[in-house]
């Protein structure tokens, strides 16, 4: 703990807190406040550290590929004009996604003929495709906030509270967390808030979620510590996977992430629950458990290596170009941090990652096409 304090004192105040810092920190938090075996704890920490190193490789790759010179490149569609992000178009695209997301929130409520926030039992009857499309509100708002340079900090916060209230109607606390985290990252990497404000705001989100969890336990007539008991339960599932299901699923968990959305397979978290003899509920395996359960211990190297390089590269691109790039990056790292517990096991989230990858490829295409012309 003393080493951590000394490290924090020595951090350059101008250096941004990045996804790989938070990933290692949050993973360590989960390990410390759980009762998993030393070996399982080592695997989780090794995965986080390997992601950390891979992220730095991705940042270095940005300069190796000369992407820092992207502003001097010509546009693919107009060779006479330099490549510049079209922020007004990005903003309109974000608004379009938001409209679709809000529309499907109400479609979902009409489908179940109830409001899951007030009747949690109705949540099981939500339409899966409708719920997935409602998440476009999260992506759209992050893109819109990152693309509209005239939006000040107060407006962003007020709008975020309004949109979180809409999302909350479906009864999912995770999506509220994703919205607030992504907007915090958008403001932070747009230099609208400082590091200190990011830390305080994140702590505030934690307190809000803690209050929501306590209220939920009170309504259900349950007791206990809602945060630490959840961490210990989730990490104990990871421990079981390491000991008994190492590589056993052969890709089934991630396979179900896609095909469960068309109804041909059960959900990935249902598969995990049924495998350990629990039925009628879903269980989160952690991002580490999903990888080890599907691909074995060695699977953590390519998985966290590729993920780290991609997000490190995408961070540098989003830092330079802002707009849609920053909005999508903010969403991806928010799902990454929440995914420490839940895993990246939702089809819509996988599509968001694919969208981020396409944006990276487009940037590379602009650079390569200019190099070939010269």
Distance CA 313, CA 367 (A): 14
**Is residue 1 in some structural domain?**
no
Token readout for 171 is 């009864």
**Is residue 159 in some structural domain?**
yes
| Model confidence pLDDT, tens digit, residues 2-47 | 544 454 455 455 678 999 999 999 999 999 999 999 999 999 999 9
More confident residue, 263 or 181: 181
**Is residue 11 in some structural domain?**
no
Say what the pLDDT of residue 262 is.
Answer: 82
**Is residue 81 in some structural domain?**
yes
- Quote the mean pLDDT of the chain: 88
Say what the pLDDT of residue 3 is.
Answer: 44
Q: Work out the percent of the chain whose per-residue pLDDT is above 90.
A: 64
Using 50, 70 and 90 to split pLDDT, how confident is the model at 164?
Answer: very high
Whole-structure pTM value: 0.91
Domain that holds residue 260: 16-373
Number of compact structural domains in the chain: 1
Distance CA 114, CA 122 (A): 7
Among 292, 294, 274, smallest CA distance to 283 is for: 274
Q: What is the 3-state composition of the chain as percent helix, strand, coil, each rounded to the nearest 5?
A: 75, 0, 25
Residue 1 has pLDDT above 50, yes or no: no
Token readout for 331 is 């969403």
**Is residue 166 in some structural domain?**
yes
Residue 78 has pLDDT above 70, yes or no: no
**Is residue 103 in some structural domain?**
yes
- 163: Cα within 13 Å, side-chain hemisphere: 31
**Is residue 2 in some structural domain?**
no
Residue 367 has pLDDT above 80, yes or no: no
More confident residue, 208 or 198: 198
- For 66-81, letters b (16+ CB in 10 Å) and e give ebeebeebbeeeeeee
Residue 104 has pLDDT above 50, yes or no: yes
Q: Which helix (H) or strand (E) holds 216?
A: helix 195-220
Distance CA 281, CA 78 (A): 54
More confident residue, 200 or 340: 340
Give the C-alpha distances (Å, rounded to integers) separating 242 from 25, 186, 288: 22, 36, 9
Residue 371 has pLDDT above 90, yes or no: no
Residue 323 has pLDDT above 50, yes or no: yes
Distance CA 216, CA 218 (A): 5
């Amino acid at each position: 703990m003393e080493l951590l304090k000394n490290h924090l004192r020595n951090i350059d105040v101008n250096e941004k807190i990045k996804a790989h810092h938070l990933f290692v920190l949050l993973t360590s938090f989960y390990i410390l406040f759980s009762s998993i075996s030393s070996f399982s704890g080592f695997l989780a920490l090794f995965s986080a550290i390997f992601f950390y190193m891979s992220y730095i490789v991705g940042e270095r790759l940005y300069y190796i590929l000369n992407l820092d010179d992207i502003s001097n490149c010509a546009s693919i569609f107009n060779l006479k004009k330099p490549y510049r992000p079209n922020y007004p178009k990005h903003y309109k695209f974000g608004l379009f996604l938001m409209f679709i997301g809000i529309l499907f929130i109400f479609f979902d409520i009409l489908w179940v003929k109830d409001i899951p926030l007030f009747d949690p039992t109705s949540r099981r009857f939500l339409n899966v495709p409708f719920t997935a499309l409602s998440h476009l509100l999260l992506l759209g708002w992050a893109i819109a906030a990152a693309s509209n340079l005239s939006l000040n900090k107060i407006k962003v916060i007020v709008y975020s509270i309004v949109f979180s209230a809409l999302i909350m109607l479906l009864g999912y606390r995770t999506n509220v967390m994703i919205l607030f985290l992504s907007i915090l990252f958008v403001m932070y990497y747009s230099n609208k808030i400082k590091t200190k404000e990011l830390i305080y705001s994140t702590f505030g989100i934690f307190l809000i979620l803690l209050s929501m969890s306590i209220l939920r336990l009170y309504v259900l007539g349950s007791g206990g510590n809602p945060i630490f008991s959840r961490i210990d339960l989730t990490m104990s599932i990871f421990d079981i996977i390491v000991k008994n299901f190492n590589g056993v699923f052969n890709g089934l968990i991630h396979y179900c992430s896609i095909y469960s959305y068309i109804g041909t397979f059960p959900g990935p978290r249902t598969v995990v629950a049924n495998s350990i003899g629990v039925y009628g509920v879903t269980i989160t395996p952690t991002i580490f458990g999903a990888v080890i359960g599907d691909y074995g211990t060695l699977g953590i190297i390519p998985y966290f290596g590729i993920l780290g390089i991609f997000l490190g590269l995408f961070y540098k691109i989003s830092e330079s170009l802002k707009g849609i790039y920053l909005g999508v990056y903010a969403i991806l790292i928010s799902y990454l941090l929440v995914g420490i517990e839940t895993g990246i096991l939702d089809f819509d989230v996988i599509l968001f990652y694919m969208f981020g990858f396409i944006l990276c490829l487009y940037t590379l295409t602009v650079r390569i096409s200019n190099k070939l012309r010269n």
